[in-house]
Structure 1
Amino acid sequence: MLRRILSLILIAWAAGFILFAISLPQPAAAQRTDAVVVLTGGAGRIERGLEVLHNGWARQMLVSGVDPQVKPGEFAAQFKIAPAAMKCCITLGYRAFDTTSNAKETAAWMKTRGYRSVRVVTSDWHLRRARAELAKVLPAKITVVDDAVHTQPSLRILMVEYHKLLFRSVPGLKAS
């Protein structure tokens, strides 16, 4: 009997991983939101957030998880952002250091501005867990649009992220 239970658990785990790996979230379509939040840590994320601003799909952008050593002028120079756009439309968030704190930083930023909708930009393999963390701290009335940056994650990245997502689904546990 124990062997059957363990076999069922293994089959469920494997099926879940396969589903996770083959159904990664996709980039969002042209849809307006009050703001866009970019979670740092992967190639193409900031560029996608800037594209969202440029296309008028959001009025404001928070870049969550910026290294405290990065100055706004350096950020603007690296991504070729005009000073006026930095001043009016882009906030660099320095408080986040993992996905959980990204969600908290985003929720606080949204609350102070009274925003009711947000587009979340992160890597396709990371979006499900980021969304789960946001769901824990954002009011239910906030509309969240998932905007995944397409990547080609390794099997290792997919395994690690799948296990972090499973781990975070257990109440009271934390994973970065």
Structure 2
Amino acid sequence: MSLQPDDKPPDAPVAAPRGFLRAMIVAVLAVVFVAVSIGFVGFISQLRGAETRPAHTADGIVVLTGGSSRVSDAMELLADGYGKRLLISGVHPTNAASDISRSLPDNQSLLGCCVDLDRSAVNTRSNAAETRRWAHERGFKSLIVVTSNYHMPRAIVELSHAMPDIALIPFAVVGDKWRDEPWWTSGATVRLLLSEYVKYVAAEVRVRLADLGLDLMPDLAEQPAGSLPPHKPATALAN
């Protein structure tokens, strides 16, 4: 008579829980991918493909440096009477005033009378902080914002958060490459847009948390004025 073992053979490895976990991970990744894709499409849909002059004038104009033709376009708006003064924010500290003069030979009189330069800003958030200080010092209630089309959504997020009491009118600068070919045909442009989209989402999240009182990074605009470099006249600085 054969003996039957008292113990049953051990169950097969826990394949079901592992399979369920794997399916859950795949599902979560799929949801994240769809959400990111929809968000990216929404971001792209905000970008203007052609430059459109503002519908009306504003108290001032601010241009955020960093892209081709931003400053020259802002100077054209100033010359056409769209604002009383222009702030060029993000001027490189090593540049000289002659650099702007050489690049904008037709606007020498405006550079001397109606342009202020800020070289303390190093990113979009500090652009917003310095723009707020500049606008409040002059009692401005409306600003035309000049920057590249791909940078405009993040710029408006930061500027709106820094100065909710000031009306912002976007003027998006469209580069020649953007007009000449579809963005999805250029790997460099796709990488630029993906990078900017990530920064835009990060800015949105930080601003929303700050509105809930969860700002982990104190706003530069709230620092005492004495802790920032003194304002210098336009003739002393350049882009």
TM-score, structure 2 normalization: 0.67
| Map of 2:71 onto structure 1 | 46
Please name the residue that 1:137 is paired with: 162
> Is 1:107–2:142 an aligned residue pair?
no
SS at match of 1:170: helix
C-alpha distance in structure 2 between counterparts of 1:130 and 1:27, whole Å: 18
* Corresponding residue for residue 166 of structure 1: 201
Q: Percent identity?
A: 33
Deviates more, 1:93-102 or 1:21-30: 21-30
Question: What is residue 12 of structure 1 aligned with on the other side?
Answer: 35
Q: Comparing both structures, which one devotes a greater share of its residues to strand?
A: 1
| 1:42-87 C-alpha deviation (Å, 9 max, x unpaired) | 0010111011011111111000000112222331222115443222
**What's the CA shift string for 1:121-161, capped at 9, x where partnerless?**
000000010111111211x2211001100132600100000
Partner in structure 1 of residue 210 of structure 2:
none
Aligned to 1:33: 58
Kept after mapping to 1: 8 A contact 2:146/2:171: yes
- Pairing of 1:64-143 with structure 2 (within 5 A): 64-138=89-163, 140-143=164-167
Q: Give the RMSD, CA atoms, in angstroms.
A: 1.9
| Worse overlay, 31-40 or 144-153 | 144-153
Q: Is the 8 A contact 2:147 2:173 kept in 1?
A: yes
Structure 1: which 5+ runs fail to align? none
Q: What displacement does 1:30 show?
A: 4.0
- Unaligned 5+ segments in structure 2 are 1-23, 184-188, 207-214, 218-239
How many residues end up aligned between the 2 structures? Answer: 173
Higher Rg = 2
1:21 corresponds to which residue?
44
Give the distance between the partners of 2:124 and 2:52, measured in 1 at CA. 19
The 1:8/1:38 distance shift into structure 2, 3 A limit, reads same
Give the distance between the partners of 1:173 and 1:135, measured in 2 at CA: 19
SS at match of 2:105: coil
The amino acid that maps onto 1:165 is: Y
Runs of 4+ in 1 over 6 A off after TM superposition: none
Secondary structure at 1:128 match in 2:
helix
